[in-house]
Amino acid sequence: MSKDKGFVTEITPQSEDFSRWYIDVIKKAELMDYSPVRGCIVFRPDGYELWENMQKELDQRFKDTGHRNAYFPLFIPESFFQKEKEHVEGFNPELPWVTEAAGEKLEERLAIRPTSETMFGHMYAKWINSYRDLPLLINQWANVVRWEKRTLPFLRTSEFLWQEGHTAHEDEEDARKETMQMLEVYTDFVQNVLAIPVIKGQKTPSERFAGAVDTYSIEAMMKDGRAVQAGTSHYLGTKFAVAFDIKYLDRENTQQFCHTTSWGVSTRLIGALIMVHGDDRGLVLPPKVAATQVIMIPIGPPKTRDVVIAKTDELYAQLKAAGIRVRVDDRSDVSPGWKFNEYEMRGIPIRLELGPRDLENGQCVLVSRVSGEKKSVALDNLVAEVQSLLAQIHDDMFERALSFREENFFSVETLDEYKTAMEEKRGFALAGWCGSEACEKQVKEETGATSRNIPFEPAETKSKCLVCGDESQHTVVFARAY
Amino acid sequence: MSKDKGFVTEITPQSEDFSRWYIDVIKKAELMDYSPVRGCIVFRPDGYELWENMQKELDQRFKDTGHRNAYFPLFIPESFFQKEKEHVEGFNPELPWVTEAAGEKLEERLAIRPTSETMFGHMYAKWINSYRDLPLLINQWANVVRWEKRTLPFLRTSEFLWQEGHTAHEDEEDARKETMQMLEVYTDFVQNVLAIPVIKGQKTPSERFAGAVDTYSIEAMMKDGRAVQAGTSHYLGTKFAVAFDIKYLDRENTQQFCHTTSWGVSTRLIGALIMVHGDDRGLVLPPKVAATQVIMIPIGPPKTRDVVIAKTDELYAQLKAAGIRVRVDDRSDVSPGWKFNEYEMRGIPIRLELGPRDLENGQCVLVSRVSGEKKSVALDNLVAEVQSLLAQIHDDMFERALSFREENFFSVETLDEYKTAMEEKRGFALAGWCGSEACEKQVKEETGATSRNIPFEPAETKSKCLVCGDESQHTVVFARAY
Ligand SMILES: [Zn+2]
Ligand SMILES: [Zn+2]
C-alpha cells in the first residue's frame, strides 16, 4: 500500500493548487508534453485520441446537418485582414508572420491563419453566384495559430487544433437559424458526449468575435469555479460578405449580399473535460470519448494464472465484438495494486477484475472510476452489464458536474456583494447589467471576472445593474475564465 | 444530344493536351480551386472527401499494425534543422520562415514544417529511456509546407496534407522490418483501394530522402506515361538518433542509439488517381474512395414521376442501409441526358436508371462508369447486384491501369535506344545501371527521366549500364516524373 500511496501523491491535490494538479495530471497521464517551440505543445497519443474521438462524434453531427468538409490554405495574405476592420483589429496582435520563403523575402507578408473567415470569404465570392448555390455549408478541421502571451496546455496554446464552420445564406433568418442550430449541436455534443453541463447564451458586445454581429457561446464551469468557453457560434451579418463581395442573384434576379456564419470548437475541450471531471487520483474520462473504456486486470496466484488469462481473453473478445473499447493488462511483473492506481490515474471508466474465485462463481468485478463502487456481475451477461455501467458513469459524471456548478453559482445584487463572494469562494455569478461597457469593465477590473454570456434561460431575472444600480437590460453570467 | 456533346467538350481531350485535360477535369468536377496564396490550393468538398475516405482506410491499417496518432508542432526552430546535415541541405531551399509574431521579431526563426523528423527526434529523446519503451510507433496527420517553384494541383503544392509515421526501434533488424511493413501497407492500400498498380523498389542514393540510409518507394504510371511516387518508406539508421540523442538502455543495461524509420503518403494520391483512371469524359473514381458510389436517376414522363420517385426512395433506403454511398438526383428541371454526362464527368462508379417500364418489369438499369456497360438487374436483388458491380469496377480499373502500364513499359539497352523510345512514346523504361551517379545524371539531362526505383521484382535483369556499357549493378526503372 505504501508504494500505491506514493504513486498517487505525485499528483498535487486539487485543493492545494488546482493549476499544479492540472499540469501534474496531464503530464503524468501522458496526454501532452511541452515542445521546444514557445506556447506549442505536443499532443501525445493518449491526448490526441481524445480529440480523435471528439472529432468522430462532431463530424457525424456536422454531416447529419448537411455540412461538408474542405481544406483551405494555412497562409493568409496580409491584405485580406485589412478588408474587415474589426477583424484585423481583433487578430492583429496575435499573428505570426511568414516574411521569407525559399531564400527570398516575400512581397507580401503571410499570416498563419488564426481563423479563416477571410479566406473562406474570398473563395465564397468566387463560388457563389445564384440563390441556387445557397446555403453553402462547409466545415474545416485544421490547425490554427494565435501567438499567446500566457499559455496553458490545451486551454490556451499558440498552435491548436479545431474545426471552423463557415456558411453563407440568402438572408438573415436562414443564417440566424444556422447559428442557433450549431450552438445546439455543440450543446448536445458537450453535454451528451463529454458529460459537461453548459450554459447557453449570447455574448455581450465587448466579448464578441472580432467582426461578428452576434456571438453565442456555451460556457462550462471547471472544478476551480472558473469558466471555459466550450464552443462559439457567430452570426456575421453581411459584414464579411461586404468586405469580400460575396453576392448572389436572388429569385427576383437582384444582386444581394449573403448573410454568413461561423462556428468552432477546439482542443481546449480536452482541457475542459479534464478540469470538469478530474479528481485527486487523476483523470476521469467520459466513457464516450475515453480511448479505453474498460481495463481488464486478471488477478490471483501464479498457479491459477493460465486459466484466468484464458477466460480474460475470451471475455475481451466478447466485449470488443460488442464495440466496447477494451484493453487487457496481464503483465505479471506489476502488482494489481499498482495497476489499479495506474488506470485510475489515467481515468479509464471501468476496471474489470477477474480472479480464480470469481471464475468459480461465474462472475467478475466491475469498478466505476467515478463512484468507486464495486459490483459483481455474471459473466454470461457481461456485455450488457458493461454497456449499462458505461451509460451510468456518463450520467453520474454529468450529474456530479451539474451539482458542482449549482453549488458554485451565486446570485448577486451589487459589485461589493460579488467581490465578497469571490473572496470566500469561486464560481459563477448571476447579476443584472445595465448594458454599458463601463460597468462591464469595472466588474473585470475589480474582480477579474468577465461577462461569460447572457444566458437564454437564467435561473432568475435581475432588475438592477450590479455596478451602477440602474435598470438592468440583461441578466448576465460573470466568471473568471480560462 | 448537341447540348450533351457541348458539355463534354469543355474538357480538353487527353490526347490533345494531358495537362490541360487534368486541370479542366479537377476544376470542372469541383475538386479544387486555386487560392490567392501562391502554390496553395483549396481542397473543395468533392476533393477533400476523397482524402477523407483515403484517411479512413489508411488510418485503420496503421492502427491494425500497432501505430497510434499524435500531433506535433507546426513550427520547427532553425537550430533543429542544423542538427542533421543532409536533412538541412535537402530541405533548406524549400522552407518558409516565420520571423515575426505578435508584433515582435523572433529571436530564432521558425520554419513551417516540411516534414517532422527533427521534432519527433527531439521528443523521442525525452520519452525513450529503456528497451521497454520500444518500439515507439507514432503517426501524424498534418499539413506540411514546401515552397515549390513550379506547382500542380494535388501533385505538387506549397502546402499539402499528408501523414507521416515516425518510429523508433531497438535495432536495425526491427527498424528495417517496420520500413518494409509500411511499404507493404502502402502497396496494399494503393492497389486494393485506389486500384492503382505500383512498382515496389528501392530508391537510388541520389533520390533518397534527405537524411535516410535507405528509401523505398511505390511508383505508379499516369496515363501520359509519367510517374508519380505514390508512397515512401525510409530506414533512417541511427542518423537522427545520433543527431537528437535518442538513446535507450538495452537488456544488458548499456546505452544504445535507436534505429528510426519514417514513412508517408500525401494528397498527391488524389492527383495520381485522377491521372491513372480519368478519361475524356472526366473523372473515373475508384469505388472504395468515391464519395458517391451510386447515383440514382429516376426517368420517364411527368405522369409516372410520382410512382417512380417513390420506388427510387425505397431503393435508396435499401442501398444506404447496406452501407453503399448513394445519392438521388430527382430534379425535374434538368434532363436525364444532362445528368448522365454530369455524373460521368464526376466519375461516379455506378449510374442507376429507373423508369416506369423498368418498374413494371421489377428491374432497373446499372451503368458502369469504367466500361460503359449497361445491365438490367432485378430490383429484389439490387443490393447484391450493386455490391458485385462495385467490386467488378474496382477490378476493371486495376486491370485497365495494369494493361496500360504494361503497354507503356519498355526495355532498353542503351541511352540512345531510350531517347528514341521517349521521342515516339512515353512511359517507363527498364534498364541496367552501373551504379554511378554520373550515368544517372546523364540519363536525366538527355531524357528528362529520373531513376524511379530499383524494383524488387523486375520483369527481367539487365546486364549492362545503359549509359557507359559497364556491368550493371542494378536494374532500374526510369521515367519522367511529376
Ligand atoms: Zn451599469
Ligand atoms: Zn554507367
**CA of A446 vs chain B CAs: smallest distance (Å):** 28
Question: Do residues B263 and B328 touch, judged by C-beta distance below 8 A?
Answer: no
Q: What is the pTM of this model?
A: 0.96
Taking only Cα atoms into account, the Rg of chain A, rounded to an integer number of angstroms, comes to 25
Placement of cell 507493404 in the chain? B184
**CA of A459 vs chain B CAs: smallest distance (Å):** 41
Residue B148: pLDDT band (50, 70, 90) is: confident
Q: What is the pLDDT of residues A277-294, one digit of tens each?
A: 999 999 999 999 999 999
Question: Do residues A298 and A312 touch, judged by C-beta distance below 8 A?
Answer: yes
Cα(B131) to ligand 1 centroid in Å equals 64
- Is there a contact between B73 and A42 if contact means CB atoms under 8 Å apart? yes
Please determine, for residue B99, whether its predicted confidence score (pLDDT) is greater than 70: yes
Please tell me which residue of chain A has the smallest CA distance to B136: A45
Average pLDDT over residues A171-192: 98
Task: Report the DSSP pairing between strands A326-328 and A294-298.
Answer: parallel
Q: A2 versus A336: which is more confidently predicted?
A: A336
Cα(B444) to ligand 2 centroid in Å equals 13
Write phi, then psi, for B216 (nearest 5 degrees): -115, 150
Please determine, for residue B3, whether its predicted confidence score (pLDDT) is greater than 80: no
Residue B275: pLDDT band (50, 70, 90) is: very high
| Cell representation of residue B336 | 436525364
Restricting to A residues 158-217, those with a Cβ less than 8 Å away from any Cβ of B are: 159, 161
Residue A148's pLDDT is what? Answer: 87
DSSP per-residue letters across B259-275 = EEEEEEEETHHHHHHHH
Amino acid identity of residue B260, one-letter, is: T
Q: For all residues of chain A together, what is the average pLDDT?
A: 95
Domain A18-277: give its CATH code: 3.30.930.10
Domain boundaries, chain A: 18-277, 294-404, 409-479
- How far CA B271 is from CA of B51, B56, B84, B157, B278, in Å, comes to 11, 18, 32, 11, 10
| Cell representation of residue B458 | 523486375
| H helix or E strand, kind and range, residue A11 | none
| Cell representation of residue A337 | 495494486
Please determine, for residue A153, whether its predicted confidence score (pLDDT) is greater than 70: yes
Q: Which of B40, B42, B147 to mutate to test the interface with A (most CBs of A within 10 A)?
A: B42
ipTM for the predicted complex comes to 0.96
Q: Is B75 touching A (CB cutoff 8 A)?
A: yes
CATH 3.30.110.30 fits A409-479, yes or no: yes
- Distance CA(B16)–CA(B22), nearest Å, equals 11
Check whether the bond before A114 is cis (ω within 30° of 0): no
Residue B350's pLDDT is what? Answer: 98
Name the CATH superfamily housing domain A294-404: Anticodon-binding domain (3.40.50.800)
- Half-sphere exposure of residue B29, counting CA atoms within 13 Å on the CB side? 34
* Cβ-based contacts of B153 with chain A (< 8 Å): none
Please determine, for residue A120, whether its predicted confidence score (pLDDT) is greater than 70: yes
Cα(A439) to ligand 1 centroid in Å equals 5
Residue A9: pLDDT band (50, 70, 90) is: low
Phi/psi region, residue B216 (left: phi>0; alpha: psi -120 to 50; beta: rest), is: beta
Average pLDDT over residues A227-234: 98
Helix (H, G, I), strand (E, B) or coil at A348: coil
Question: Do residues A62 and A141 touch, judged by C-beta distance below 8 A?
Answer: no
**CA of A72 vs chain B CAs: smallest distance (Å):** 5
- Burial of residue A68 (CB within 10 Å: 0-12, 13-18, 19+) is middle
Please determine, for residue A5, whether its predicted confidence score (pLDDT) is greater than 70: no
- Is there a contact between A45 and B68 if contact means CB atoms under 8 Å apart? yes
Q: With CA atoms as reference, report the closest residue to A257 among A213, A300, A219.
A: A213
**CA of B41 vs chain A CAs: smallest distance (Å):** 7
Q: Is A141 touching B (CB cutoff 8 A)?
A: no
Helix (H, G, I), strand (E, B) or coil at A298: strand
- Half-sphere exposure of residue A442, counting CA atoms within 13 Å on the CB side? 15
Please determine, for residue A7, whether its predicted confidence score (pLDDT) is greater than 80: no
- Is there a contact between A43 and B70 if contact means CB atoms under 8 Å apart? yes
Task: Give ∠ CA B142-B148-B154 in degrees, rounded to 5.
Answer: 55
Partners of B351 in beta bridges: B295, B367
Residue A3's pLDDT is what? Answer: 39
Residue B34: pLDDT band (50, 70, 90) is: very high
Q: What is the DSSP letter of B38?
A: T
Q: What is the pLDDT of residues B157-171, one digit of tens each?
A: 999 999 999 999 999
* Cβ-based contacts of B47 with chain A (< 8 Å): 70
